[in-house]
Structure 1
Amino acid sequence: MADEPESSKMVNSVPETPEVDGPLRQAPAPRPSAPESPGRMRRLSRSRSGIAVIGALVGALLASGVMAWRSDELPFMARDVCWGSLSPDVVHALFSDTDVRSRELPLRRATEDQMHTECSMQGFGADELESEVTASVRTLGELRGAQAWSWTEEYLSSRMTPLGEGITGMASSTRAWVALPASCEERSYESGEKPPLRVVTLASEAADPEGQNVVDARRGLDSMSRAVVRLANGVMERYGCDGPYSDPPTLRRAPEGNELPDVDADRLCGIQGVRLPRWAEGPDAEVVGITPGTKPGPSSAEGIWACDVRQPFGPNRLRLMTVADPELAGVVSRVLGNRATRLGGEGQGAYAGGLSVYAADCRSGRVAFVAYEPGKESESHADKSLALAVLPSYVKAEAKRVGCGDMNVKVPSNLAP
């Protein structure tokens, strides 16, 4: 049977009744109105037809799981949305001055369906949809192939800032994610069996918006980082697991323009020994993104680092990425299937089209290294792959930096640059 949308919940002074069926809660009864002048709603309630109208309206709202309010005008009462996690002030910060409507699927879908469950928040102006933010709870550890890569490309990009303060997660002005503790599992596991990684996410607009001004980028980063931590706390409370997390500090936004390093063909993205092939060098190349708040090459405390380089008037774009968080590295290492060409060496890797991935088991756990040409991941093996040409020098330099020792990627002779 298909899942029904979860009912909306009203926040008032009546204590919340614990739910008998798992993480979902019933809505408490609304607070009685004060005996003031009747008003239209009170006049309606004095007639049979009025009672029928009110009953139909309230029933429709509760059955659909839809909530709506304005930042300065709350009908009925203020309510938390997305599984009781996000208060109105947190939600309003994600939108401009618009009507906000929310609809959510039951949280238990995240356990029953190994993919995810979602909550949609939509901002309307003059009854027209203006913007949307989608929250989800996802079992990331189950993803493979194209699904794993789609998440990696969006949520581990060079625009994402680590949340820090003991929270495994990142945020930008349009994307955010937080890993849930291993205790947030509803089924038991065998001794030694590790639960798959689960995350909460927020997404709005494009993952890499064009021409976003500094003010909007700053406001978006602040609101998304705060909201995703509150979302994680709400989900953790529902599952009865470890938590909560503290609100994140003010994060560093993604650097732009003069804040970015110049391209050095023999020190790409600021990493000594990482080289562009001669055929890819050009005066127009520039660094267009680098993970905020980190130095080139992550230490063991900086689990994710990415850098994007492009030629504005040329065909080549390149992303380099190191994922030193073992659980995330496990997801990244599964993005290429059996049809990819295997790469040899001390680790395990593969290459297909414009995507090269190499993984190794190091002292701190699994680490994944990625070289990627956006837009070329689905192409057949090309004569000149920028990602494959840069990967060996990138892995060699980064492996030493993250404590993996000396590593050499062996590329098949017919694919060697």
Structure 2
Amino acid sequence: MTDGTTENTTSAGEAEPRPPLLRRLVHSRVARAVTAAGLVGVLLGAGTVAWRTDTLPLFSSDPCWGTFDDTLTERMFGDRETVAETQQLQPDPSSGTAVYGQCRITGYEDGEKARAAKQLTVQVRRPAGYGRQDVWPAEFLAADMAPLGSGLTGMVSPSRAWLALPESCTGQVGVLSAPAVVDLAMGDAAVSGSVPEHDREDRAALADAVVAVANGVRKELGCSGRFSAPATDKLAALVPWREADPDTLCGIEGLSVPAEYSASLRHGRAGVGGGATRTCEAGSIYPPGDLRLTTVVDPGLARIFADEAGNGGTRLERVKDGGPSGFGSIDVTRGVYLAQCRTGDVAFVVERMKSVGSEKGQRPNLVRALLPRYVEAEAERVGCGPVRLKLPEVLE
């Protein structure tokens, strides 16, 4: 690639120049999605699939709200040719506030035919929990997420990043609604690089990118103030998968895996504290693991689990004098307790991400076995304890 353009090839092998509009849109830096109609024709004509065609009339003229400069784009995509599609920020249909929008940047390999090699998806939204059929927690609250630090309410991994926007900019939310966030996804969350140095570089680039996009969104919404750049050289160490100790799951003394599941949960990884959430995972193969335990200490983010805590299964109760007020529920796949601590709501979640086998055909309820001790230990750790739960005799 020399001048930032490539050529189409005819069946006879002769080079045929690209249409002028496509040459303008596909180049060595981020392309601008000029018009909806023109973009649809270009994408389909190039042999790619148009993205969310139902929202195309809302595309803006600046990629990702003008946030990706040449330096950041090169860090994310190298010297690949890129195409960007950006949707205007618009009122969120669930809340009526102007905090909804999407952007996608695709990097293509050089060659005879354009082949997508790397893709970044950016969303501005209010995440919801499992009670509303949203998979956001599964993707963005994984054990490999590290706090962004520097007073930023957000987290980052080699493939995912998110940052909460200030309510002074996006509008006050209801008691059961989470704050608006900017989130970035690069590829499959279950696949990380095999070389730690590459993971560190990818994570640092995503950390800078999510802050840059969040600042662009604030400017687009007409809000004052900017987020400070993250201290990427001070991010927590990468979280490796390793042999798990079945008697101290998540590093918690007394949190023991039932013997019937020891073979199925023999590997694990535990996230670091100090951020909005702390998650640990365990499984027989990795990633992403079969079992996940999460503590959410940011009160706004904890509201993601309010629906599930109230309506996700059989009601949980505290024992007498069992700590601060709260409510929760449990079923065979997930237990959620939302405690009303002095610092605000804290969510404790134990969930089977997929079916976990047990030895000898015996299947004691794994969530039931782990939830009480996990909540008790984590509540003590975050200064909310003691919280002691009374389990229902039968799960509905």
Give the shorter-chain TM-score range: 0.7 to 0.9
**Matching of residue 119 in structure 1 with residue 103 in structure 2:** yes
Give me the whole-angstrom Cα distance separating, in 2, the residues matched to 1:360 and 1:223.
35
Aligned to 1:243: 225
**Matching of residue 234 in structure 1 with residue 213 in structure 2:** no
Aligned to 2:115: 128
Q: Which moved more, 1:213-222 or 1:357-366?
A: 213-222
Deviation at 1:92? Answer: 2.1
1:159-170 map, 5 Å: 159-170=144-155
Among residues 270, 280, 290, which one is paired with 1:290 in the alignment?
A: 270
Give me the whole-angstrom Cα distance separating, in 2, the residues matched to 1:195 and 1:342.
21
Normalised to the residue count of structure 2, the TM-score between the two structures is: 0.74
**Matching of residue 307 in structure 1 with residue 288 in structure 2:** no
Among residues 356, 373, 377, which one is paired with 1:393 in the alignment?
A: 373
Gaps of at least 5 residues in structure 2 are: 1-18, 26-31, 44-60, 357-361
Deviation at 1:337? Answer: 6.6
Distance 1:61 1:235, change over 3 A: closer
CA contact (8 A) 1:383 1:415 kept: no
Q: Secondary structure at the match of 1:167?
A: coil
Aligned to 2:336: 357
CA RMSD of aligned residues (A): 3.5
Aligned to 1:48: none
Q: Secondary structure at the match of 2:228?
A: coil
Distance 1:265 1:413, change over 3 A: same
Look up the equivalent residue of 2:107 and give its one-letter code.
G
Look up the equivalent residue of 1:323 and give its one-letter code.
V
Distance 1:362 1:119, change over 3 A: same
Q: Which moved more, 1:320-329 or 1:107-116?
A: 107-116
Among residues 394, 406, 409, which one is paired with 2:389 in the alignment?
A: 409
Distance 1:331 1:81, change over 3 A: same
When Rg is computed on C-alpha atoms for both structures, the one with the higher figure is 1
CA contact (8 A) 1:284 1:311 kept: yes
Deviation at 1:81? Answer: 2.4
Normalised to the residue count of structure 1, the TM-score between the two structures is: 0.70
Among residues 131, 142, 147, which one is paired with 1:145 in the alignment?
A: 131
Q: Which moved more, 1:59-68 or 1:219-228?
A: 59-68
Give me the whole-angstrom Cα distance separating, in 2, the residues matched to 1:285 and 1:275.
12
CA contact (8 A) 2:291 2:354 kept: no
Give me the whole-angstrom Cα distance separating, in 2, the residues matched to 1:369 and 1:194.
16
Deviation at 1:305? Answer: 0.6
CA contact (8 A) 1:80 1:87 kept: no
How many residue pairs end up in the alignment?
Answer: 332
Give me the whole-angstrom Cα distance separating, in 1, the residues matched to 2:34 and 2:244.
56
Give me the whole-angstrom Cα distance separating, in 2, the residues matched to 1:56 and 1:231.
26
Aligned to 1:343: 316
CA contact (8 A) 2:247 2:257 kept: yes
Give me the whole-angstrom Cα distance separating, in 2, the residues matched to 1:280 and 1:120.
41
Deviation at 1:284? Answer: 7.1
Look up the equivalent residue of 2:81 and give its one-letter code.
D
Give me the whole-angstrom Cα distance separating, in 2, the residues matched to 1:413 and 1:61.
58
